[in-house]
A and B are shown apart, each in its own frame.
Chain A
């Protein structure tokens, strides 16, 4: 590492802005920058954003990146021309899905697979479920298929064979044959990506990986070149959907793991900031232009889900931060349906043309328009800096025409109705991830990040019965900050599918040892300094006959590269976990082990969040900007106005109050109160409790 290197930089590229967080490793000081995102080539905004803070890239030691390039390529179907080579009789698995449809009601659904039917070729070969090779594969057949795909213009290819999870032999022979003739490195075997039972989920995940390899590879190449041109000689790391980071080499090979890279970084940062501030249980709330994303963090750990659908039929099965999204963002349009019910979204004005008050051509009212009319947003100081001021009068007219008149409400009451219904939808999403999963909302704080959430956090706190709300000091750059602190993490899975009573434990133990060693090697190869390394083992298990499995963490540690697992350890862990999830364990029914999961985590050093705290010397009086009228519960209230970043540690602000800062506005409702903690976070609670 270069002696001069001294910055760790987190870069989060969002739909509208590219946020950059600079951490000076020597002084511990932080800086943030915000520049417009660039499309279609995000790397321009990326480089521009870094340049606003550090001109000489040789001063950067590590650049950590949360990216939406993969997500966008999937949603817009802009991946590479990809081919599939598969078992004879099964080329339609990708298109047949699990025989579902997009919506419960209405039968107008359609589905366009990323690889069209004529680019999915079959070769004679078959492995049975127990691993028996029923028909061996002929490498010549595979080469013919590969050449045919190349002739048809394929840039990448995925080989996926039925039951390959049970025996890799045929797939290994085939992948070698493809690599012999394929002109580039974009060749993916399903078992290299996901050696797990369930052919559609494996096919979809591996195919999307092949589909993303060229565009993500090219993008990362452009980033690296541009950084190198600026003199950079440090490490680039990419945030994965599971909240951990990976090296650029791994990202090039496994780009499907970036599917939720962007949002994951924000959740990771929130979990860390909240834990340090004494809030191990939070529900993160990211309110954007078109959607509201919530994610649960319990005991400082983010909930992970095993798979997600990026779009209908576009399944990615790899561990991901569990994010629940509803279509209620600042740009969501408020409308009255034909039955006379007020609805918010799912249609959104987005950021172009945006809310009515932007004056860019939309005339249907949005949630942001309602917040503006109610006095909660400053018309003279729009966030983001693209506009000079917001058009309050136009917003009023839109609300009156589209909501007030149909519902026979005055304009202000109509605006408040929009906010109330939007809040209730957001509260529904919070209930879904908390109450419905058995968590007590009393023990959780709402943690808004992104631009819009802090206006609604107080209302959500009241509506769901949360303990408090925690607004981080820089909500708008939370994701970029999260990049700098994320751990390196790699997840592995292997289907076992055996009865606990009869399975070969020695074989399982050697698998576990091997996977852990592979993981450690990946961590070591990345050339990143870790505070410590940690390996976690988990089995998916069930009673025979059940279709849903429970995740059973095994209490096993690696010592000197070896580990010991026994049938009893597995049995006891299963019984305990089953009891936790479903109540009483069952008697006399055989236990099945479906999958082995191994996660290796390299913990990166965290920086001291007190560095973000307000400088000494500020006072509440010096932070005060005057006041503004806000409409709450059917009448005007005078809200005191503050510069949020000037408020000193320990400041207590009684509602109604509006706290402004460059990237967000916080609204403290009349019956709430906010306190600045020693890290500069604002803690909002009910007034009587403070």
Chain B
């Protein structure tokens, strides 16, 4: 068996290889979704199962789980064709086998050592445009994946080291951004080559057998650690249901339901009560669902290492007929909204079994907003960004104001960069008072973004959620505010019929868009919040005086101090 010291050393060395692959792609990528938002990931995967052995720390969290499926898809394809060779690199974006959505292109490279397959290296990155009906590929009206973009199954981009330009030609011909595509593809190839060099150096130094043992040992320790974590939780079944507003096609809510069972050292997550597959693009593939369970578990048990061992003691039940396990050609472009909800129900159920480890729901929607038009000189412009919201209250304190989504580590572009690039400007970019879910620990605040158009006209697209079902509180905490979007027309402000989803509404110069994003849910009963903490929230303008009384039972008098007597009385009526 490998000695514990070498194991600790190798763990750091292996993680550094994956981290360096991430950094290489971030620096050289042409498209800001990878370069700035870090919508990419790299790792090392098992030669026979495709399971995640090592994953970089800086890549997109949701890919950590999804990539194992992508590598397995390549393993199955190579087995079927029986032609895997040293120097091959597969490329594909099939979301049904490889997870997530069509924008994410995966490159998978078998790594050979002395003529034998040793492991796989893989890279995934979100490309700028992969065809389909809508530039940027967020199409809320898609009913088939063919409206969302090109679909490439696993094919050899390199055949025993020979680059297949024809494959690249096909992909470039199907994109509105062929140069960006070519740049990102090259960045991913570079990252894989770098990973191969670094891994070879490590194997030369420590020996193939020792490193293989380290892989096995790291998996089994992650599994062991996870078992210990689960064993500490009381046995039982804990349920949590939450809803998506609609699928963008039919305005009916969709249920994401979880029955979480703890039994000794194992945990079962049963999503059988969830809604069936839907017409619009908020379906997800099974691989995506499993990957998002992994994200939720890693957020709660963040001491376990990032490898597939974490999921060993966890059973996931997702029947084929739910919206969480669809097959081609069901549309999956809005997968972010569904996995955010799936993560929310895991938090919600975990809060019932382990309130000291869990947090309330975060804002729970990506709010992909784009604004597109033509300039006076005829040039086309497309502004596209995701927006932030509040994080959930948690055992240690209030939720973070204006954070990024739990599935991502992306930052938002600066106001001044957006304004210098596009003919629009923000008339407001602020925290949204009263949006944090009331609780002993308040949910973090969402934001208010208001945009005014400077060009003659533009078309607006939005892909968001939480317009009808607010982020939930836990342990007695209350809901955060709903997502609210409105757009100005000649006769005043309107809201999209699908709440937070709309396609191609035209606005004119001087007209405004107003996006108000949800805050996080609260943690613990709001009547348990210290009146002084509520007073501070009122002084800082996080909570209005009315809301302090309504939501917290704290009465603040005209001098700006807590009216202790009325507060005590009011709270007494609330807790009865």
Q: In the complex, are the beta carbons of B400 and A110 less than 8 A apart?
A: yes
Query: Interface residue tally of chain A, by bracket?
Result: 35 or more
Sample of 20 A–B contacts (CB below 8 Å): A92-B431, A93-B415, A96-B431, A104-B61, A107-B391, A110-B397, A128-B454, A130-B420, A162-B415, A162-B426, A197-B420, A340-B224, A342-B4, A409-B4, A424-B13, A428-B13, A436-B23, A546-B30, A582-B28, A589-B179
Which residues of A from 644 to 689 have beta carbons under 8 Å from B? none
Q: Which of A99, A163, A198 contacts B403 (CB 8 A)?
A: A99
Which residues of A from 514 to 561 have beta carbons under 8 Å from B? 545-548
Q: Does B171 contact A (CB under 8 A)?
A: no
Q: In the complex, are the beta carbons of A545 and B30 less than 8 A apart?
A: yes
The residues of A with any CB-CB pair to B shorter than 8 Å are 89-93, 95-101, 103-111, 116-118, 126, 128-130, 134, 162-163, 165-166, 197-201, 337-343, 407, 409, 416-417, 420-421, 424-425, 428, 431-432, 436, 497, 545-548, 582, 589
Q: Knowing A107-B394, A197-B417, A428-B13 touch, does A343 contact B8 (C-beta < 8 A)?
A: yes
Q: In the complex, are the beta carbons of B32 and A547 less than 8 A apart?
A: yes
Q: In the complex, are the beta carbons of B412 and A128 less than 8 A apart?
A: no
Q: Which residue of A lies closest to B360 (CB)?
A: A107
Q: In the complex, are the beta carbons of A339 and B540 less than 8 A apart?
A: no
Complex Cα spacing A589 to B388, Å? 32
Which residues of B from 388 to 427 have beta carbons under 8 Å from A? 388, 391-392, 394-404, 406, 409-417, 419-420, 425-427
Q: In the complex, are the beta carbons of A424 and B9 less than 8 A apart?
A: yes
**A95, A98, A126 pick with most chain B CB within 10 angstroms:** A98
Complex Cα spacing A468 to B540, Å? 56
Q: Please, which residues of chain A bring their CB within 8 A of the CB of B540?
A: 116-118
Q: Please, which residues of chain A bring their CB within 8 A of the CB of B403?
A: 99-101, 107, 109
Q: Does B439 contact A (CB under 8 A)?
A: no
**A118, A163, A340 pick with most chain B CB within 10 angstroms:** A340
Q: Which residue of B lies closest to A581 (CB)?
A: B27
Task: Give the distance to chain B from A296, nearest Cβ to Cβ, in Å.
Answer: 15
Q: In the complex, are the beta carbons of A421 and B9 less than 8 A apart?
A: yes
Q: Which residue of B lies closest to A89 (CB)?
A: B428
Q: Knowing A339-B222, A340-B221, A341-B11 touch, does A197 contact B414 (C-beta < 8 A)?
A: yes
Q: Please, which residues of chain B bring their CB within 8 A of the CB of A103?
A: 302
Q: Please, which residues of chain A bring their CB within 8 A of the CB of B562?
A: none
Q: In the complex, are the beta carbons of A338 and B225 less than 8 A apart?
A: yes
Q: In the complex, are the beta carbons of A90 and B416 less than 8 A apart?
A: no
Q: Which of A339, A409, A428 contacts B224 (CB 8 A)?
A: A339
Q: In the complex, are the beta carbons of A117 and B427 less than 8 A apart?
A: no
Q: Which residue of A lies closest to B433 (CB)?
A: A117
The residues of B with any CB-CB pair to A shorter than 8 Å are 4-5, 7-9, 11-13, 16, 20, 23, 27-28, 30, 32, 35-36, 57-58, 61, 179-180, 221-222, 224-225, 228, 298-299, 302-306, 359, 362, 387-388, 391-392, 394-404, 406, 409-417, 419-420, 425-431, 447, 450, 454, 539-542
Interface of A (DSSP majority class): loop
Q: Please, which residues of chain B bring their CB within 8 A of the CB of A110?
A: 396-398, 400
Task: Give the distance to chain B from A493, nearest Cβ to Cβ, in Å.
Answer: 14
Q: Knowing A96-B388, A105-B61, A106-B299 touch, does A89 contact B420 (C-beta < 8 A)?
A: no
Task: Give the distance to chain B from A328, nearest Cβ to Cβ, in Å.
Answer: 11
Q: Which of B302, B419, B429 contacts A128 (CB 8 A)?
A: B419
Q: Which residue of B lies closest to A337 (CB)?
A: B303
Q: In the complex, are the beta carbons of B429 and A93 less than 8 A apart?
A: yes
Q: Please, which residues of chain B bring their CB within 8 A of the CB of A582?
A: 28
Listed from nearest, the 6 A-B pairs whose CB atoms lie closest are A99-B388, A89-B428, A339-B221, A129-B419, A339-B225, A99-B412
Complex Cα spacing A110 to B402, Å? 11
Q: Which residue of A lies closest to B61 (CB)?
A: A104
Task: Give the distance to chain A from B371, nearest Cβ to Cβ, in Å.
Answer: 15
Q: In the complex, are the beta carbons of B404 and A99 less than 8 A apart?
A: yes
Q: In the complex, are the beta carbons of B411 and A98 less than 8 A apart?
A: yes
Q: Knowing A105-B299, A109-B403, A129-B419 touch, does A89 contact B9 (C-beta < 8 A)?
A: no
Complex Cα spacing A640 to B228, Å? 48
Task: Add 18 more A-B contacts to A130-B420, A338-B303 (CB < 8 A).
Answer: A89-B450, A90-B429, A92-B447, A96-B431, A99-B410, A101-B404, A104-B58, A107-B299, A107-B362, A107-B394, A117-B431, A165-B416, A199-B414, A343-B8, A424-B8, A424-B12, A547-B417, A582-B28
Task: Give the distance to chain B from A414, nearest Cβ to Cβ, in Å.
Answer: 9
Q: In the complex, are the beta carbons of B396 and A108 less than 8 A apart?
A: yes
Task: Give the distance to chain A from B36, nearest Cβ to Cβ, in Å.
Answer: 5
Q: In the complex, are the beta carbons of B5 and A421 less than 8 A apart?
A: yes
Q: Which of A134, A198, A431 contacts B416 (CB 8 A)?
A: A198
Complex Cα spacing A494 to B417, Å? 15
Q: Which of B58, B306, B400, B413 contacts A109 (CB 8 A)?
A: B400
Task: Give the distance to chain B from A134, nearest Cβ to Cβ, in Å.
Answer: 8
Complex Cα spacing A516 to B44, Å? 51
Q: Knowing A90-B429, A105-B302, A107-B392 touch, does A341 contact B359 (C-beta < 8 A)?
A: no
Q: Which residue of B lies closest to A421 (CB)?
A: B8
Q: Please, which residues of chain B bring their CB within 8 A of the CB of A104?
A: 57-58, 61, 409
Complex Cα spacing A43 to B81, Å? 75
Q: Please, which residues of chain B bring their CB within 8 A of the CB of A108?
A: 359, 394-397
Q: In the complex, are the beta carbons of B409 and A100 less than 8 A apart?
A: yes
Complex Cα spacing A432 to B24, Å? 12
Q: Please, which residues of chain B bring their CB within 8 A of the CB of A428?
A: 12-13, 16
Q: Please, which residues of chain A bring their CB within 8 A of the CB of B430?
A: 89-92, 96
Q: Which of B16, B179, B304 contacts A432 (CB 8 A)?
A: B16
Q: In the complex, are the beta carbons of A417 and B4 less than 8 A apart?
A: yes
Q: In the complex, are the beta carbons of A89 and B426 less than 8 A apart?
A: yes
Complex Cα spacing A417 to B416, Å? 51
Q: Knowing A105-B61, A111-B401, A436-B23 touch, does A117 contact B542 (C-beta < 8 A)?
A: yes
Q: Please, which residues of chain B bring their CB within 8 A of the CB of A424?
A: 8-9, 12-13
Q: Please, which residues of chain B bring their CB within 8 A of the CB of A497?
A: 420
Q: Which residue of B lies closest to A582 (CB)?
A: B28
Complex Cα spacing A106 to B224, Å? 20
Complex Cα spacing A135 to B249, Å? 42
Q: Please, which residues of chain B bring their CB within 8 A of the CB of A129?
A: 416, 419-420, 425
Q: Please, which residues of chain B bring their CB within 8 A of the CB of A200?
A: 414
Q: Please, which residues of chain B bring their CB within 8 A of the CB of A343?
A: 8
Q: Please, which residues of chain B bring their CB within 8 A of the CB of A589?
A: 179
Complex Cα spacing A108 to B396, Å? 7
Q: Which residue of A lies closest to B409 (CB)?
A: A104
Complex Cα spacing A200 to B416, Å? 9
Q: Please, which residues of chain A bring their CB within 8 A of the CB of B13?
A: 424, 428
Q: Which residue of A lies closest to B28 (CB)?
A: A582
Q: In the complex, are the beta carbons of A546 and B35 less than 8 A apart?
A: yes
Complex Cα spacing A431 to B205, Å? 15
**B61, B359, B413, B429 pick with most chain A CB within 10 angstroms:** B429
Q: Please, which residues of chain A bring their CB within 8 A of the CB of B429?
A: 89-90, 92-93, 96
Q: Please, which residues of chain A bring their CB within 8 A of the CB of B12?
A: 424-425, 428
Q: Which residue of A lies closest to B224 (CB)?
A: A339
Q: Which residue of A lies closest to B11 (CB)?
A: A341
Q: Please, which residues of chain B bring their CB within 8 A of the CB of A95?
A: 401-402, 431
Q: In the complex, are the beta carbons of A338 and B8 less than 8 A apart?
A: no
Task: Give the distance to chain B from A92, nearest Cβ to Cβ, in Å.
Answer: 4
Q: In the complex, are the beta carbons of A118 and B541 less than 8 A apart?
A: yes
Q: Which of B57, B415, B541 contacts A117 (CB 8 A)?
A: B541
Q: In the complex, are the beta carbons of B406 and A339 less than 8 A apart?
A: no
Q: Please, which residues of chain B bring their CB within 8 A of the CB of A109?
A: 391, 400, 403
Complex Cα spacing A615 to B402, Å? 63
Task: Give the distance to chain A from B136, nearest Cβ to Cβ, in Å.
Answer: 14
Q: Which residue of B lies closest to A165 (CB)?
A: B416
